[in-house]
Structure 1
Amino acid sequence: MSTTHLIISRPWEKDLSFNSNLDEKYANRVQEIAEKELKEDEKTREQCLAHLREWISQNRDIDNCILDDSFLLRFLRSKKYSLHMAQQMLLKYLNLRKCFNHIFYGLDYMDEKFMRLLHVGYIFPSPFVDKYGRRVVITTPKKFDTSIYTSTDMARAHMLTYETLVDDEDTQILGVTHVGDLAGASPSLITMWSVTEFATLLKWSEQSFPMRHKEIHLIHMPTMYKYVYDFAASRVTQKIRDRAKLHDTMEQLHQTLDPSLLPSEYGGIMSSKEMAELWIKELANKRERLLSFDKMNLLSDRGIIRRRSKINEADSLNGSFRRLDVD
C-alpha cells in the first residue's frame, strides 16, 4: 500500500509533520520527475521562458497576457518544452476562455453558487498527495442538485478547481489524479447538457487546458451513464482513454488507490466536510490570482493551427442527451 501525506507538508515519508529535510526530499523528487518526464532543466527552462515571452510580446493577437514564470510554465511543461506546441496551446487556451467566457471568467470561489457547491462537497481535491505526489480530485455527482444548478455551474466548479490546482508548479509537473463516485447520480445530470457544448468542451479542454491528467478512476457507474462515458471516450485521445479506469466497488478502487487519500466515507481518515473546508482556504489564497486572468484576451484566432479529424465531428452535433435512453 502506498504512503499518503498532507499536501501542506509535501513529504513522501510516513510522517505528517513538516520539517525542512522532508520538504527538501519532496523538492528533489519533483525535480527528478521534471527532468525525466518533461526534459526540464534550468537552462532549458530559462531559455524557453525567454523565447515564449518574446513571442508573446510580438504577437499582436494576444492582449494583456500574464507573463510570470508560473503561468508560462503551465504550457511549456504540458508540451514538454516544445516551444511551438506551447505557443499553440497558449493560443488555444486564450481562445477557449474567450469562446466559453460564461464558464472561464469571474471564477470567484466566494460566488454564492460556488460556495454552496463547495460546502456540499461536490468537487474538491484531497489535502493528501498520493505515492507520486499528485493531488487527488474527488467528484461526487449525486451532490449536484440540478433543480438549483445548471450545466454552466458544473463546468465553472470544475474550472475553478483545475485553474487553482494548475497554478501550483508541483501540480504542473506531477499531474493530477481524478476520482469520481457516480453512485446515486441523477439522470438529470446528463439531460441538462447539450451534446454540442459537452463534446466541444471535452475536445477543446484536452487540447487547450495545460493540465496533466495522469489517472481517472470512476466508481459505481450506473448503466445509463455508460452511454455518456462511451460518447466522451470517443471525443478524447487514446492517451486519456487509457488512463480512465472503471471500478464496480470501493474495494476495487482501494486496490489501486490508497484509501487514506479519500474521505472517511470512502475508507479514509478525514471527512469530506473537513477536506472541503481545507480546500476553501486554498481557494482564498488564489482568489485574486484567478480573477486577474480575466484581463487576458485573444484578439484573433488566426494564429491557431487546426487539423481536421474525426473528433471535429463533435462541433457539428446538435440537440441534447435527452434523446438517450436513461430510464
Structure 2
Amino acid sequence: MAAIRPLSAEMQKVAIEQLNEVPERVPQDIAALREWIRKQPHMRARTDDQFLVSFLRGCKYSLEKVKSKIDHFYTIRTMLPEMFANNTIDDPKNLLIVRSGGIVALPKTLGIGGPAIGFSRYKILDDLGITVKDFCRYTALVTDKSIVDTDAFVIGGYMEIVDVDKVGLGAMSKLDPISAKQFTTYCVKGSAIRIKGVHIINVPKDGLSALKIIRNLFPAHVKERYFIHSTMEDLYKHVPKEYLPIEYGGTNGSLAELPVKHEKELKAFNSYFEENDKYGVDENLRQGQKADMNSIFGLEGSFRKLEYDYTRLYIPQLVRMFTLSHKVQTRSQCTEKKVFSHKQTRQINSSSPVSNDFSCIVDSQRHNANNIRKKGRLTKSNSQAIHTFTYTLALTKKEMVILRPLPDDLAKKAAEELNEKSVDNEYYVNTLREWIEKQPYLRARTDDQFLIAFLRGSKFSLEKAKQKLENFYILRAAMPEIFRNRSLSESKYEAIVKSGAAAFLPEPVSEGGPLVVLLRPSEFNMEQHTINDVLRVGSMMIDILMQENDRVFIAGYTFIIDLGNISKAVLLNFEPEFIRKLTILVNKAAPTRMKGFHFINVLPIFEKLFGMVKSVISAKLKERFYVHGNNLEELYKYVPKHVLPKEYGGDCDIESLQAEWWQKLNDYKKFFEEEEQYGIAEGYERLKQVKELIADTSVLQGTDGSFRQLEFD
C-alpha cells in the first residue's frame, strides 16, 4: 500500500476525472516510476511515495511525461546551484521575502478542487532590493514544500494574482533575462505544478505593452492563461472577489497575518530543504546524449551571449522606439536642432544595425529623463538609464521581434540550409507583417513566431514566404469541412486521437534531424469516423506543432505509413477525394518541410495508390518515397529503432503519448476559437481557382489538371 495522504472525496473526484488517477492502480504506478529511477545511473532522486505521486498527478499519469519531468527537475537544479543549492528558509534573503508579505499563499482554493491561489505585490518586493534570482530561489523553496504537503496545489493546480501597482521604472533596471529564462524553463519542463492562470492587476498604462510582450514569450497554451486586467471588475470574472485577501475586499486571509504563518510552516520544513542538496544528476554517468545548458535552455553556452545581444540589439531598438514619441537627432544635426519625422527616422534606423560610432540625444518627457547621450558601446555611466528605458521598448512591438531561441543543432541547420541570419530576422519579420497589413483580402496572424515559420519554410525568400502564407489561408478557406469550427466536443475526436492512428513521435531521427510522424490507417474506425474527422484532428495537431516546435520548419517531418491490417472500411475511403485532400494538406497547406515517406507492410493494391499520389506532388518529394515492404531493418537505416514505438521495436509508449496529445488539444481550445477570425475573403479569385481544382478528379488521373498550375511552389 502506498504511503500517501488520503484525499477528500471532492479532491479524489477531481484527481480521477481530470488527472486520470485510478486509485487502486496508484501503488503500481508509483512502483513502476521508482523502478525506473533506480535504473538511471546518472540520477540521485527522492523516491518516497508522496513525492512520486505528486509528479504522477502533475503529469496526469503519463509515465513518459513524468520521467521527463523528474529528469529535468534534477538536471536543471544541478546545472544552476546558484538558484537551487543550499536553499533553506534560514537564508537571509528568503527570510526577508517571507516576512515582507510580498508573496503569500491564500488559504482558500478557487472553489472545491480548484487551483491554489498565490498573491504577489511587486512594489513590496521592489522595495526590498532583492534580485530576480532571489525571487526565483524563494519561489523554488515554497514550491518544494507545496508539492509534497499540499494536495490542492498539485491536484487543482496553481493560480497567481500579481499586483504591480506603483512599481517604478527602477524595477526594470533589475531585469535579469538570464535568470528569468532559466527559472521559467524549470517551471515548464521540471515542475510537477500545473499553472492554471496568471492575473496581473493595477497595471500602469505605460506598462501594458511591456507585459503583453512578456506574455508573447510563453508557449500558446500558457499565453491563454495569462491575463492583464484593466479593472478589478475584470479580474472578478475569473476570480470572484471573495477569494481575494481581506485588504482587497475579499475574505481569503489577511496579508498582514499570513507571513507569520508561512514562516512557521517553512521553518518546520527546513530539514527537508537541507536534504535537497543530496539529490541531483551526474552527466558523466548519463546514458545517451548528455544534457547541457544549450539542450535544456536552447541558448548558446551559459547565456553569456545574451548579455552581448542585449546591448547590441536592444539599444538600437531603443533609439527607434524614441522616434515614436520623442525627439531624435544625429551627431551632425545636434547643433541645428533638426528633428526627424517618424518616417524619416525609421528609414535611417531600420534598414541595418546601428553602428558603434553613432550619437543621439533622446528627450523623454514620458519618463522625465534629461537628455541622455549615447556613444558607441554601453558605458557604466549610462547603463542604468538605458536599462530603465528598456522598459519602454514595449512601445515598439511592431519593430521589436521576439523569437524562441533555437538549440544549437537547429540554429546550425537554419543557417546552413535555410539562409537564416539572426541579425536579419527583425527586418524579414517586419517586412512580411507590413505586407500582410496591406492585403485587403487577407486576415492572417501576424505574431513574430508565426511569421518566422513561413520565412524559414521559404528559405528567407520574402516572395515565397508571401506566397506560402497566402496559400496557407487559401487552402483553409477552400476546405472548411476540415479547418472551420474545429471543436473537439464530440467523443469521436478523443477516440481518433487515442487510437494512435496518427502519432507525432517525440524524438527526431538525429541531431538536427526531422521529427517522425507515424500513420497507421488500420487503427481508424471508419464505421464511427469520417475521413474529414480524421483530417480535422490531424490539422489541429499540426497547428499545435507549428506553435511549439521549430524543428518542423527547420528540419521537417519524416512520415512512416504502416499499411498493414487495413480493413475494408478504411480501404473504401482511399478514394480520389481523400487522396487529393491528403496530398494537398501534406504538400501545400503548411510551411513545414517534408523529408521522407517510408511505407511499410505494403500490399500490392497500394501500387496504384502510389501512382495517384505521385501524380500530384513535386519531383523533389517523389525522390523521398521509400517502400520497405515488411522489412523493418530497412526502415531502421533511415529512422533509428529507439525513436519508434514499442510495437516497432523502439522505446516510445504510444498510449501515453496520445493521452498527452489529447490533453494538449484541449489546452489549445481558445487558440482554435481564435483561428476562426483568420482567412481569405470569399470573393478572392485564387480561392475560386483552388476550390475548382480540389473538385477536379482529373488531377489524380494524369491529365493536364495539376495543382502546380497555380505555381504553388
Q: Does 1:122 align with 2:501?
A: yes
Distance 1:7 1:110, change over 3 A: farther
Question: For residue 476 of structure 2, what is the amino acid of its counterpart?
Answer: R
Is the 2:294–2:408 contact (alpha carbons within 8 Å) kept by the matching residues of 1? no
The CA deviation at 1:287 is 3.7
Superposition pairs for residues 123-162 of structure 1, below 5 Å? 123-131=502-510, 132-162=512-542
Partner of 2:671: 289
Partner of 1:188: 569
Cα distance in structure 1, aligned partners of 2:667 and 2:536: 18
Cα distance in structure 2, aligned partners of 1:151 and 1:314: 16
- Percent identical pairs in the alignment equals 21
Bigger shift: residues 127-136 or 26-35: 127-136
The CA deviation at 1:113 is 2.1
The CA deviation at 1:305 is 12
Structure 2 unaligned spans of 5+: 1-66, 73-188, 190-285, 301-405, 702-713
Cα distance in structure 1, aligned partners of 2:519 and 2:427: 38
Give the 3-state SS of the residue equivalent to 1:179 in structure 2: strand
Question: For residue 227 of structure 1, what is the amino acid of its counterpart?
Answer: K
The CA deviation at 1:281 is 4.0
Cα distance in structure 1, aligned partners of 2:600 and 2:477: 34
Question: For residue 144 of structure 1, what is the amino acid of its counterpart?
Answer: F
The CA deviation at 1:191 is 2.4
Q: Does 1:20 align with 2:293?
A: yes
Superposition pairs for residues 1-327 of structure 1, below 5 Å? 15=288, 20-23=293-296, 24=299, 27-63=407-443, 65-109=444-488, 111-131=490-510, 132-167=512-547, 168-196=549-577, 198-199=579-580, 201-203=582-584, 205-248=586-629, 249-299=631-681, 300-302=683-685, 316-317=696-697
Cα distance in structure 2, aligned partners of 1:319 and 1:46: 40
Cα distance in structure 2, aligned partners of 1:54 and 1:7: 41
The CA deviation at 1:158 is 2.1
Partner of 1:325: none
Distance 1:270 1:169, change over 3 A: closer
Distance 1:20 1:74, change over 3 A: same
Cα distance in structure 1, aligned partners of 2:700 and 2:419: 42
Partner of 1:324: none
Distance 1:201 1:15, change over 3 A: closer
The CA deviation at 1:233 is 1.1
Question: For residue 624 of structure 2, what is the amino acid of its counterpart?
Answer: R
The CA deviation at 1:320 is 11
Cα distance in structure 2, aligned partners of 1:7 and 1:32: 25
Is the 2:294–2:407 contact (alpha carbons within 8 Å) kept by the matching residues of 1? no
Distance 1:201 1:180, change over 3 A: closer
Q: Which structure exhibits the higher relative contact order, with contacts defined as CA atoms closer than 8 Å and separated by 6 or more residues?
A: 1
The CA deviation at 1:40 is 0.8
Cα distance in structure 2, aligned partners of 1:181 and 1:39: 35
Question: For residue 251 of structure 1, what is the amino acid of its counterpart?
Answer: E
Cα distance in structure 2, aligned partners of 1:304 and 1:147: 33
Is the 1:175–1:211 contact (alpha carbons within 8 Å) kept by the matching residues of 2? yes
The CA deviation at 1:67 is 0.7
Question: For residue 96 of structure 1, what is the amino acid of its counterpart?
Answer: L
Cα distance in structure 2, aligned partners of 1:286 and 1:169: 18
Is the 2:478–2:687 contact (alpha carbons within 8 Å) kept by the matching residues of 1? no
Bigger shift: residues 38-47 or 200-209: 200-209
Is the 1:95–1:301 contact (alpha carbons within 8 Å) kept by the matching residues of 2? no
Question: For residue 563 of structure 2, what is the amino acid of its counterpart?
Answer: L
Distance 1:257 1:86, change over 3 A: same
Cα distance in structure 1, aligned partners of 2:521 and 2:433: 40
Distance 1:152 1:204, change over 3 A: closer
Alpha-carbon displacement from aligned partner over 1:111-144 (angstroms, at most 9, x marks no partner)? 4222101112111111222203432111111101
Is the 1:191–1:320 contact (alpha carbons within 8 Å) kept by the matching residues of 2? no
Distance 1:278 1:264, change over 3 A: same
Cα distance in structure 2, aligned partners of 1:107 and 1:133: 31
Structure 1 unaligned spans of 5+: 1-5, 322-327
Bigger shift: residues 26-35 or 188-197: 188-197
The CA deviation at 1:306 is 8.0
Is the 1:77–1:172 contact (alpha carbons within 8 Å) kept by the matching residues of 2? yes
The CA deviation at 1:178 is 1.2
Give the 3-state SS of the residue equivalent to 1:30 in structure 2: helix
Question: For residue 20 of structure 1, what is the amino acid of its counterpart?
Answer: M
Alpha-carbon displacement from aligned partner over 1:156-202 (angstroms, at most 9, x marks no partner)? 13212222222222322121121111110124324225424532552
CA RMSD of aligned residues (A): 3.1
Cα distance in structure 1, aligned partners of 2:688 and 2:426: 26
Cα distance in structure 2, aligned partners of 1:14 and 1:174: 25
The CA deviation at 1:76 is 1.2
Partner of 2:363: none
Distance 1:173 1:284, change over 3 A: farther
Distance 1:318 1:233, change over 3 A: closer
Distance 1:36 1:210, change over 3 A: same
Alpha-carbon displacement from aligned partner over 1:31-84 (angstroms, at most 9, x marks no partner)? 111111110112332111111111111110112x21101211222111111111
Cα distance in structure 2, aligned partners of 1:73 and 1:245: 31
Cα distance in structure 2, aligned partners of 1:152 and 1:298: 21
